[in-house]
Amino acid sequence: MAAWRCSPVRRWPSLRWPPEEADLKQSLTQVLPGSYDNELLKDAVTLRSDVGEVLVYRARRAGKVEAVVYRVTGYGYSGAIVCVMGVSREGKILGVRVIKHAETPGLGDKIEPAKAKWIFDFDGKFLGEPPVDKWAVKKDGGVFDQFAGATITPRAVVKAVKEGLQFFEANKAALLDEMGGKQ
């Protein structure tokens, strides 16, 4: 449960996802490659804890949860950096996208896929690859690149994604609908 307590969403009183349905569908498809046979927007679970609620969308094939999508938040130079991440049932990252930030244009905004390919470096990663202690920017002894003049921004995103994977590991049975109705 310690991983959940240090979750990147700890400052949000509620993690209900407010965007319009079209925007939400677009965000989900960006981090969930492949096809699924359920309606993602109708297959969601809210996990509660002492730090708030996390709304999780489940992607299924033949009734089995194959992937999940949820929000994580890091805190950069200019405030909250809200990301959406897709994670396979094996715990591998399928995709990460920043959906909201106020980082400095020309520096911190390289977290956007239209500005740089940096955000794609998370694809295929999981806790253990790289090793947990290497989930940091290179300046901090990790494996992820930082940006010249903007280390705080990538540091915040790496931390949020790492904590998102820790959330997945700590709540895997509930996320994958393997608790026999207990949530």
In a domain, 88, yes or no: yes
The reported pTM is 0.82
In a domain, 180, yes or no: no
Is 50 exceeded by the pLDDT of residue 92?
A: yes
Q: State how far the Cα of 65 lies from the Cα of 108, in Å rounded to an integer.
A: 35
In a domain, 183, yes or no: no
* pLDDT > 70 in the chain, percent: 80
The average confidence (pLDDT) of the chain is 82
Which residue has 């921004």 as its token pair? 153
Which residue has 């895997």 as its token pair? 172
Number of domains in the chain: 1
Give pLDDT, residue 49.
56
Name the residue among 52, 44, 19, 24 with its Cα closest to residue 167: 52
β-strand partners of 43: none
In a domain, 106, yes or no: yes
In a domain, 102, yes or no: yes
Is 50 exceeded by the pLDDT of residue 11?
A: no
Q: Note down the domain range covering 124.
A: 2-175
In a domain, 82, yes or no: yes
Are the C-beta atoms of residues 50 and 5 closer than 8 Å to each other? yes
In a domain, 20, yes or no: yes
Is 90 exceeded by the pLDDT of residue 57?
A: yes
Are the C-beta atoms of residues 72 and 87 closer than 8 Å to each other? no
